[in-house]
Chain A
Amino acid sequence: MSEVLLKIEGINKRFGGLHALSNVSLHINKGEIYGLIGPNGAGKTTMFNVLTGLYTPDEGSFTFDGNDLFRAPPHVVVKSGIARTFQNIRLFHEMTALENVMVGRHIRSKANALGAVLRNKATRDEEAAIEAKAWELLRYVGIEDVAYERAKNLSYGHQRRLEIARALATEPKLLALDEPAAGMNPSETESLKALMEKIRDGGVTVLLIEHDVKLMMGLCDRIAVLDYGKKIAEGVPEVVRKDPKVIEAYLGVAHE
C-alpha cells in the first residue's frame, strides 16, 4: 500500500441551513494526482477552503503528514505543506509576477523587522535566495519572460501558471488546484496537463478540481465525486466513470 498523506474523516461544513459538506471522508496518497469532480455547487471549492484553513469545518477530523490540522488557521496549514490556487484567480494584481512568487517564499524565510531594518548579511543572503528561487519557479512553470510584468496585465493562461508558481514557492507536499484549466483552450490545457505531471514527478502530490472529464480521466490516479456535499463515489477513473450514481449526478445537472 502507498503511504497516506492526507486523511479527513466525517467532515461537515454548514452555511446556515445549507449543508455544503456532509460527512465527507477521504484520503490522498503520497505521490498521486487525486481528482475531485462534481456538478457546480457540489462543494468542491468549499472542500478546498476547509483543507486550507480558510473555512473552519463544523465536525470531523483532518490529519496531514502526521499533523492534526482540524481547524488549523491557514498559515499553519501552509507551513505543514498544503498550498493552493483559486478557482477565480487571486493574484496580487499590482505586484509583478516575480514579486508574487516571492510572497510565496514568506513562510519559508525568516527575516524579521529588525533584520529588514539592519539589512545584515543573513537578511541580504536570504533575500537573494528568495529572488533566485522565485526566478527558478517562474522558469519551471514557463513564464520567466513576464517576470517584471504586473500580474493583472498577464494573459489568463499566464496568470494561472503564476498562481501555481506562487503556490509552489511555499514548498508544498500537496498542491491543490481549483479548476486550473477553466477558460483554457485545448492546447493550453494540454500543456497545463504536462505541467501537472511534471509537478507530480517532482515529488509533489496533486489535488485537482476540474470539470474537463476527459482531462481528469487521463490525468488522475484516483477520483472522488461530490454531489450536494456528499461523496458519492471514489476510485480509479475507469470505475468511477461507469458508476451509475455518478452518471445520474451529472445527467441530473444537465437536465436542469
Chain B
Amino acid sequence: MTMDTNKKLAVFIASAIVLAVLPFVVGNTLGNSWVRTIDFALLYVMLALGLNIVVGFAGLLDLGFIAFYAVGAYTFALLGSPHFDIHLPFYISIPLGAGLAAMFGLLLGTPVLKLKGDYLAIVTLGFGEIIRIFMNNLNAPVNITNGPQGINLIDPIQIGGLSLGKAVEVFGFTLNPVHLYYYVFLFLTVMVVIMVYRLQHSRIGRAWVAMREDSIAAAAMGLNIRNIKLLAFALGALSGGVAGGLFSTFQGFISPESFGLLESIMILAMVVLGGMGHIPGVILGAVVLTIAPEILRDVIGPLQMKAFGKMLVDPENARMLLFGAAMVIMMLVRPEGMWPSKRRAAEFKDAKKG
C-alpha cells in the first residue's frame, strides 16, 4: 500500500519536474519554435478533453466542436484589443469566454436532443460552419468581428506588472513569451484534466456512461436524459472556450480561418486516435497529433532533397498524405486508439472475437 503511494508520488514528482523544465530543454536543443508547438499541444489537449466529454463520456458525435474554441477566442479578442478599444484583464475575459461557450453548447445541444449518429453529425457540423460564417460576416452593417480580416493586436496576458507578451530575464535566463505562456497553459491544462477526471468519476460521469450504453434503460432508472446531454455539451464547450481565449491572446491575432471544419475533424481525430473516453489516451492523442505533423514538416523537405536532389512532392502535401495514411492504418490495426481504457480495449477484443 505505502509502496504504491510512494511510487505514485515519485511518478508525480518526476512528471512535475519534466513538465517544469520541458520548455527550456526543448528551447535550447530544438529551438523556440518547438516550444511554441508544445504550447499548441497544450491547447489541443484542453480542446480534446472538452470534446471527449461529449464524444467519449456521453457518446454523442460532434463535428462542430471548433465553434466553442471560436467563441472563446472571439470573446477574448473583442474584450482585449484595439478593435473596440476595450482591454479587460484575462481573468475576466477567459471565464467570460468559457461561460459564453458553455451557453453556445446549450444552444447547440437543445435542438439536437433527439438526434443520433449521422443526423447528429450533420447538424453539429452545420453548427460549426454557421459560427464561422457569422464571424466572417459580422462586419456589416455594424462591424463586430471585423470579418475575414480578423482581429489583430490582441492583448497579451498581464499578470500583475508582468506582460507575457515580452521576454523577461530571470536569474540570467531569458523567458520568452512561448515559455511564459507555456506555464499558463500548463496550469489550465492541469485544471481541465482534474475537472474531467473528477467528472468522470462522479455521479454525473456514471450517468453519461449509462446514457451512452443504453439510453432507454438509463431513462427508466430516472436519469433525465435531456439534462445530462445538455450538461455534456455545456461542459465540453466550456473547456473549448477556455482554450479559445488562450489561443487568442497567445497568437495576438485571430480570424475565422482558424476555425474551419478541418480543425473540428482534427480534434475528433485526437479523441478517437488517442482512446475515446480515456483521459490519458486523449491527452496522448492530442500531443501526438499536434507534434507529428510538425516533425513531418521538418523532415520531409530535407529528406527529399537528400534522396532525390530536388523536391518531388510539395512538402505540405506530402505531410498531409503521410498523416492521412498513418491515421487510416492506425484505425485498421488499432481501432480502439493508442491508449484505450481497459473497458474499451475489452469491448474491442470482444467485438473481434464474436
Contact = CB atoms under 8 A, between A and B. Distances in A.
A106 B205 contact: no
Given A75-B219, A103-B206, A106-B206, A92 B213 contact: yes
A129 B205 CA distance: 17
B207 interface: yes
Most buried by A among B194, B207, B220, B225: B220
Contacts of B231: 113
Interface stretch (B149-157, B195-203, B317-325): B195-203
Interface residues of B, number: 29
B167 interface: no
A95 B222 contact: no
A103 B210 contact: yes
B195 A103 contact: no
B198 A78 contact: no
Given A92-B213, A117-B195, A170 B205 contact: no
Interface string B163-200: 00000000000000000000000000000001100110
A95 B216 contact: no
Interface string B37-74: 00000000000000000000000000000000000000
Interface string A117-128: 101000100110
B222 A78 contact: yes
B190 to A, nearest CB: 13
Contact of B210 (A54, A86, A95, A150): A95
B217 A86 contact: yes
B235 interface: yes
Nearest to B232: A113
Contacts, number: 103
Interface of A: 52-54, 73-75, 78-79, 83-84, 86, 90-95, 99, 102-107, 109, 111-113, 115-117, 119, 123, 126-127, 130, 150, 166-167, 169-170
18 contacts: A54-B216, A73-B219, A74-B219, A74-B220, A78-B222, A83-B221, A84-B220, A103-B207, A103-B221, A106-B206, A106-B210, A106-B222, A107-B221, A107-B223, A116-B202, A116-B205, A117-B198, A170-B221
The 7 closest A-B pairs by CB, nearest first: A78-B222, A107-B222, A116-B202, A90-B217, A74-B219, A92-B213, A75-B224
Given A86-B220, A90-B214, A94-B209, 12 more contacts: A73-B219, A78-B220, A79-B222, A83-B222, A91-B214, A94-B213, A103-B207, A117-B198, A119-B198, A127-B203, A150-B346, A166-B221
